Amino acid sequence: MSILINEKTRALVQGITGGEGRFHTERMLQDGTNIVGGVTPGKAGESVEGVPVFDSVADAVAETQANASILFVPPAFAADAILEAAEAGIELIVCLTEGIPVHDMLPARRYVDLVGAKLLGPNTPGLISPGQSKLGVMAGYIHKPGSIGIISRSGTLTYEVVHQLTALGIGQSTCVGIGGDPIVGLSYKELLPMFEADSETEGIILIGEIGGSAEEEAAELIKKEIRKPVVAFIAGRTAPPGRRMGHAGAIISGGSGTAEAKMTALTAAEVTVAASPAEIGAAMAERLGR
């Protein structure tokens, strides 16, 4: 098993005829994703890598019964693309775009909730259930099917952790990037219970960073609801306050959002907090008794 996506997921690619869209469609197909259609306004009737292109998400859903969508859409139009997918009944919307204005995301996020869809991102590398399906841009080959669930706010740091796990012979059930923006969709508190309920997931790795309070909320939830072993790492212990560290969401403001506070909260929830990013995989191996 896995969470959110598996080999049955019927995926659309919004922005499929652009450079990024084309490139990653090919790679996602190689990693086993069941891509049933693409969307680019005005390009209906064309095809990309054998995938039929539609003018709108609604057209594509009517024709293909797609239930998930991944977006390769520039920042100025991305919130609109999220709304279009939500309106058409897509259940899981994965938005990779970095740099969407916060004032566009606030109403988009609200509408997604209103129609009962799930949004991942924006500013995420996406998600992968190794060997089954990938809606994202991560390199498939570093992954290995297995039993560890990963939830992360960062891209390349997640690749690092996956690499450490795979090198130790530990596979992954699903790796989910929740995105580095201040306003994102699914977060730790929605994803942790999914991993807890997934019969194949044995342990969960939570990769957080400075800014906001999502990790503190996650710690509260872990204390109450999560029985599986959890290992965490919080990036940004050495970041100065008031500066935006690359990710728009990674900023310590007014004494809140510090790595210290997050690590303290997680430790109190009996989460193993790795002191060094080089030891995250090993910490999970230890928790699993391997």
* Residues of the shown chain interacting with other proteins in the complex, contacts defined by CB under 8 A: 75-76, 99-104, 106-107, 109-111, 114, 125, 137-139, 142, 152-160, 163-164, 167, 180, 182-183, 207, 209-210, 212-214, 217, 233, 235-240, 243-250, 254-255, 259, 275-279
Nearer to other proteins by Cβ, of 22 and 228: the residue is 22
Q: Minimal distance in Å, beta carbon 234 to other proteins?
A: 9
Q: Minimal distance in Å, beta carbon 181 to other proteins?
A: 8
Nearer to other proteins by Cβ, of 25 and 198: the residue is 25
Nearer to other proteins by Cβ, of 1 and 106: the residue is 106
> Dihedral through CA 156, CA 159, CA 161, CA 162, nearest 10?
170
Taking the C-alpha atoms of residue 118 and residue 184, their distance in angstroms, rounded to an integer, is: 11
Say which residues have a Cβ less than 8 Å from residue 79's Cβ, sequence separation at least 6. 100, 101, 104, 105, 107, 108
Taking the C-alpha atoms of residue 189 and residue 109, their distance in angstroms, rounded to an integer, is: 16
Say which residues have a Cβ less than 8 Å from residue 254's Cβ, sequence separation at least 6. none
Q: Minimal distance in Å, beta carbon 139 to other proteins?
A: 6
103, 143, 163, 247: the active-site residue: 247
Angle (deg, nearest 10), helices 75-87 and 102-115: 10
Nearer to other proteins by Cβ, of 50 and 254: the residue is 254
Nearer to other proteins by Cβ, of 66 and 284: the residue is 284
Taking the C-alpha atoms of residue 11 and residue 27, their distance in angstroms, rounded to an integer, is: 14
Closest of 171, 225, 165 to residue 195, by C-alpha: 225
Taking the C-alpha atoms of residue 9 and residue 120, their distance in angstroms, rounded to an integer, is: 15
Q: Running DSSP on this structure, what letter comes out for residue 215? A: H
- Assess whether 163 carries a catalytic annotation: no
Catalytic residues: 247
